[in-house]
Amino acid sequence: MLLHFYKYQATGNDFIIIDCNEHFIDFNNEKLIQQLCNRHFGIGADGLILFCKHNTYDFEMKYFNSDGKLATMCGNGGRSIVKFAYDKNYIHETCVFLASDGIHKATLTNNNTILLNMQDVQEIKQHCDGFEINTGSPHFVIPIKENIDDINVNNIGKEIRFQNRFKPYGINVNFVHRKDDHIYLRTYERGVENETLSCGTGAVASAIWSCLSKPMGKYSIPIKTMGGVLTVHFDKQDNLYTNIWLEGEAKFVFEGKINLQDVIF
């Protein structure tokens, strides 16, 4: 079987998108998704997204990490699938879609920038070494005072990601450094089991962390990732964070066809 795929990236976080209007893919086949995401034997990506029809919303997004498992919300993946839907003329400049954590609104501007509405955040758990914040996916935010470029993200992130306190599902680990008006972010992503160039839900968690001690009000926080700059907008009301929007570019990379018999070993 020849599988028609589309490749998109959002600040370096890259995704294979499969249009379920064109194909049915067995999303219970973890091995297939692993091989498609493999950068040596497949297409290569941090994750795979299924674009699915929905009777109520413009579409449904089903996201899988590169380990082949159905995953929680992906902010960069959400912005990528919105750009895909727009490129395919499934939507206009605005849309409403369903993801694993609920309903999301999105707006696309004329310069490939997508504003993605994220879920409200209320519960923030402080640990002795960081902050646990769920932004559609669970994140652990670790403030770094020294040069963030010197952090061994893979080694430290992997060790924390599998700690007993975060069982049974584990957690994404974010290393954040505040400098001037920017937050510098590096993320170890569970399911990818590696550092990625960017993480959208991690950027939201880091932006909220940066305002924990600030007064109530409206905030726009630029987040510098390895793959580019994201901006997180939100309203802070006591310990409740609402009207959260993740802003950044998403771009088409290429499309192609791959013979599934060639990627299943």
* Model confidence at 2: pLDDT above 80: yes
pTM score over 0.85: yes
Per annotation, catalytic residue among 20, 37, 74, 95? 74
> In the structure encoding, which two tokens stand for residue 246, read together?
């993740």
The pLDDT assigned to 265 comes to 58
Instruction: Respond yes or no: is residue 52 known to be catalytic.
Output: no
Q: Which helix (H) or strand (E) holds 58?
A: none
- Domain boundaries, given as residue ranges, for the chain: 2-112+251-263, 124-245
Per annotation, catalytic residue among 95, 128, 199, 211? 199
Nearest Cα to Cα of residue 130 among 101, 89, 159 = 159
Give residue-wise pLDDT tens across range 37-74: 999 999 999 999 999 999 999 999 999 999 999 999 99
The pLDDT assigned to 190 comes to 97
> In the structure encoding, which two tokens stand for residue 217, read together?
């009000």
Burial (Cβ within 10 Å: 0-12, 13-18, ≥19) of residue 66: buried
Superfamily per CATH, domain 2-112+251-263: Diaminopimelate Epimerase; Chain A, domain 1 (3.10.310.10)
Identity of the residue numbered 115: L
> In the structure encoding, which two tokens stand for residue 210, read together?
């940066």
User: In this predicted model, which residue has the larger pLDDT, 103 or 25?
Assistant: 103
* Model confidence at 264: pLDDT above 90: no
Give residue-wise pLDDT tens across range 116-140: 999 999 999 999 999 999 999 999 9
Q: Check if the beta carbon of residue 174 is closer than 8 Å to that of residue 208.
A: no
Query: Burial code of 21-41, b = ≥16 C-beta within 10 A, e = fewer?
Result: eeeebebeeeebbbbbbeeee
Give residue-wise pLDDT tens across range 179-195: 887 899 999 999 999 99
Identity of the residue numbered 76: N
Q: What distance in Å separates the CA atoms of residue 99 and residue 103, rounded to the nearest whole number?
A: 6
> In the structure encoding, which two tokens stand for residue 258, read together?
């791959």
Q: Check if the beta carbon of residue 82 is closer than 8 Å to that of residue 95.
A: yes
Fold of 124-245: Diaminopimelate Epimerase; Chain A, domain 1 (3.10.310)
Q: Looking at residue 165, what DSSP letter applies?
A: G
